[in-house]
A and B are shown apart, each in its own frame.
Chain A
Amino acid sequence: MKKNITFLFLLLLVLASCSKTPDIDNATMLDGDQIYDPSIANPKKYLISDSIVSPSDIQKNTPVIIAAHGYSATTFEWDELRAYADSAKTFYVSQVLLGGHGLTYADFKKATWEDWQSSIITEYRKLDSLGFKKIFLAGSSTGAPLIINMVKSGFFATQSTQPKGIFLVDPIIVSSDKALTMVGLLGPILGFTTVELSNGEKGHWYVYRPQQTLKQLMALINITRIDLQNGIRLPTGTYMKVYKSKTDATADPISALMIYKGMQTSVNGNIDVEMIDSKLHVFTRLEGRADVTAADSATQKRVFKEMELKMKN
C-alpha cells in the first residue's frame, strides 16, 4: 500500500514537473516574437476608426461592419470580407484584433476573455463617437459569444447608436470537442494543446493553445449558454442572423439552436438562422485552406452578398 502511494506521488511529481513551455519556432509561428498580426503595425488598413478620423456625412451614413475573429485567430479570418467590401464599395469593414491575440504566446496566455472582447468594445465606442450611424457587427466562432455578451451586458444601451445588425458565422456556444469541458481538470496537467495548421494558415493562428486560454474560452461559452438559456433581447431595431455549418468539428452545430432559442428581437420576434451545407468551420474564410470546393466559394459569395444587401436596406 505504501509503495502504491509513493508511486502515485512520484507520478504526480513527474507530471507536474513536465515542461509546460511549447517549442516555438519564431520564424514561422505566430506564437513567436517575430510574426505579429499586420493590424498592429498598420491599424489604418484595418480599423475604420483609424482610417476615417473625421467622417463626412456620406461616410457617416455608409454602413460599417466591425468584424471580430475567433479564438486563437487573427484579423486574417475576415480579410476576404474586407476584399469584398473594397470591391463593392457599399460598406466599410473594420477588422478588430481581439485583445491578447496576434502577439506572442506569452501575451496570448495571460489574456482573459474580457481582454479579447475589449477591442470590439473600443472600436464600437470610437465609431459611435465619430458619428457613424449604421454600425453592424460580425462575429466568427468565438467572436460570436463575445458579441452576444455585449448585448446581454447592456453595453449598447450606453451608446448613442444601436447596432443595425449582427451577423454570426459558425458561432461557438458548445464546443464540438467535448474534452474542453474537462479543461479545469486536464488543463494543468497538459499545459497547452497543439493544432495542425495548413501552409496557408501558418502565421495567422497560434499553434499552441495555453490551458489558461482554453479555460477562458470554456468560461465564456458557458456564461453565454446560461445567458441564452435565460433569454437575451436585442437592442431596438437590431437585426440578427446566424449562419452555421451543418457539420463543424470545432463549433458544435447545436450552438445555432441555442442562439435561436435564446435570442429575441426587441419586439419578441425570432432571429434568422440558416444551416449551411458545409463542413468548414467559419465557412466565410477560404483563404489558406487546402480543400476548398466550388460550392464553398459560391456559399461564401452568396453570404457576403446577402450581408451587403442587408446593410444597404
Chain B
Amino acid sequence: MRKLSILFFVSLMFIPSVWSQSTDSYDLGIGVRIQKTEQLYWENGFGADFTSDFLLNRKIHLKLSYISSRMGSAFNTNAIKQDNYLIGADWRFRSEKSLQIFAGFNTGFFHADMEIPRFNVLPHNSMLFSLETGLAYRFKFPVAMNLSLGYNLINGNGVSSPGTLFPVFYEMSIFYYLDLPEKSKIKNLAPSNAPE
C-alpha cells in the first residue's frame, strides 16, 4: 500500500519535467479535490490537471488525483479510512471558452483500511472506474474550478467489492496553473475574447 502511494506521488512530481521537453505549449494545474459521496463520506485530497496543444488542441485533459476520507469524514472520527488513487481523462466542449463543459472517466485503485485484523476477511481493495461530467470555469488569473457529478461503475455489493464504495459522487476541484518557464506557455487560461 505504501509503495503504491509513493509511486503515485513520484509520478505526480515528474509530470512537469516530462512535459517540459515538449515544444507544444501546455497547461499544468495542481490543486485540491473535494468529493462528497451520496449518503457517505467527504473524501478530500489533491490532484493535477494537464492539457496541451497536442491533445486535440486542448480538448482532452488528463487528470491525476489522490483523495481520502482521512482528509474528510474520517479525520478525528470513527469513519472508515479509505483512499482513492485516480487517473482519468476528460473531453472538453467549448475548450476555447472560460466556461467549459466536460465529460470523462476515471480509473484507479481503492483501498479501505479495515484497521482491525478480524475484519480483513471483508473485501477492502478494488479497481475504480467512474464516469464524470460537469462544468469547468477558468478565471482571468491562473485558476480554474471544476464542479462535477460522477458515477462509480464498480461499486460495493457486500460480497466481492468493498462495502464503502458507493455509486454517486459530487466533486469540486480547484487548480492553480503553474507559470512554467521557457518552452511552456500558459495559453487560453483567460481568453480575452471569451464572451462569458
| A234-259 at interface with B (beta carbon < 8 Å) | 246-258
Instruction: Report, as a range, how many residues of chain A touch the other chain.
Output: 20 to 34
Point out the residue from A179, A182, A248, A254 that lies within 8 Å of B164, measured CB to CB.
Answer: A254
Measured between C-beta atoms, what is the minimum distance from A131 to chain B in Å?
37
Docked-complex contact A257 and B77, CB < 8 angstroms: no
The reply on A273 being an interface residue by CB < 8 A is yes
Give the total number of A-B pairs whose CB atoms are below 8 A apart.
86
Measured between C-beta atoms, what is the minimum distance from A153 to chain B in Å?
18
Docked-complex contact A246 and B163, CB < 8 angstroms: no
**CB-CB < 8 A to B112: which residues of A?**
254
| B152-187 at interface with A (beta carbon < 8 Å) | 155-159, 162-168
Given A176-B163, A228-B78, A262-B78, are A253 and B122 also a contact pair (CB < 8 Å)? Answer: yes
Docked-complex contact A261 and B158, CB < 8 angstroms: no
Bound complex: CA of A248 vs CA of B167, how far in Å? Answer: 19
The reply on A230 being an interface residue by CB < 8 A is yes
One of B14-22, B98-106, B113-121 contacting the partner: B113-121
Bound complex: CA of A258 vs CA of B112, how far in Å? Answer: 12
Q: Which residue of B lies closest to A230 (CB)?
A: B77
Point out the residue from B80, B116, B155 that lies within 8 Å of A178, measured CB to CB.
Answer: B155
Point out the residue from B78, B116, B159, B162 that lies within 8 Å of A230, measured CB to CB.
Answer: B78
Bound complex: CA of A225 vs CA of B155, how far in Å? Answer: 18
| B16-62 at interface with A (beta carbon < 8 Å) | 38-40
Bound complex: CA of A264 vs CA of B172, how far in Å? Answer: 35
Measured between C-beta atoms, what is the minimum distance from A288 to chain B in Å?
22
Docked-complex contact B157 and A177, CB < 8 angstroms: yes
The reply on A218 being an interface residue by CB < 8 A is yes
The reply on A156 being an interface residue by CB < 8 A is no
The reply on A119 being an interface residue by CB < 8 A is no
Docked-complex contact B162 and A254, CB < 8 angstroms: yes
Docked-complex contact B158 and A249, CB < 8 angstroms: yes
Binding site for B on A (CB under 8 A): 174-179, 181-182, 218, 222, 225, 228-231, 246-258, 260-262, 273, 275
Binding site for A on B (CB under 8 A): 38-40, 73, 77-80, 112, 114-116, 118-119, 121-122, 155-159, 162-168
Known: A176-B163, A253-B163, A261-B80. 7 other contacts (CB 8 A): A175-B158, A178-B165, A182-B167, A229-B77, A257-B116, A275-B119, A275-B122
